[in-house]
Amino acid sequence: MFDSSPITLFERFQASLGGADALETLRGGLIGKDARLPGPFGPKPVLYCDYTASGRALMQAERFVLEEVLPWYANSHTEASHCGARMTAMRRAARQIVARSCGAGSDHAVIFAGSGATAGINRLVHLFGIAAATARGERPLVLIGPYEHHSNILPWRESGAEVRQLPEA
């Protein structure tokens, strides 16, 4: 049905990230690696330091999406069309790869929650039933550490939970 299995596509993508010098391969694929910012002492290279929130675009990933995903892009919850079946197969293959990479066994689940950490935390807020608890007049307690990223704090606060920050140990 497909010219390449989803696993084969992902294996080819993984190979595009490595090679003899994987770090140099990744550096070479960094989009904007030569970008410069104007300043009072002349243009300076961009130094990006927020990889916790979002990484910089990588040509290998963008090319994979452009060539292997977008031509077939469709609802991944159907197999009623070739495109839908292909996306469903890719999603299943991606779930297997993530599970294997994390050492997940048959008693674990990989849950794709959307884009970024905020989407994952929003999913947890929903799964834990925080909204239902606050609707009953309860106020669940959420403990956070002193170095939490903003994306891990805001969804809990907005849920109505009591958020307490633990002190630095």
**pLDDT-derived band at 14, boundaries 50, 70, 90:** confident
Task: Output the pTM of the full model.
Answer: 0.72
pLDDT at 87 over 60: yes
Q: CA 169 to CA 163: how far, in whole Å?
A: 18
More confident residue, 131 or 164: 164
Residue 1 has pLDDT above 60, yes or no: no
- Break the chain into its structural domains and give their ranges: 6-102, 116-165
Strands 162-165 and 44-45: unpaired
CB-CB contact of 84 with 118 (8 Å): no
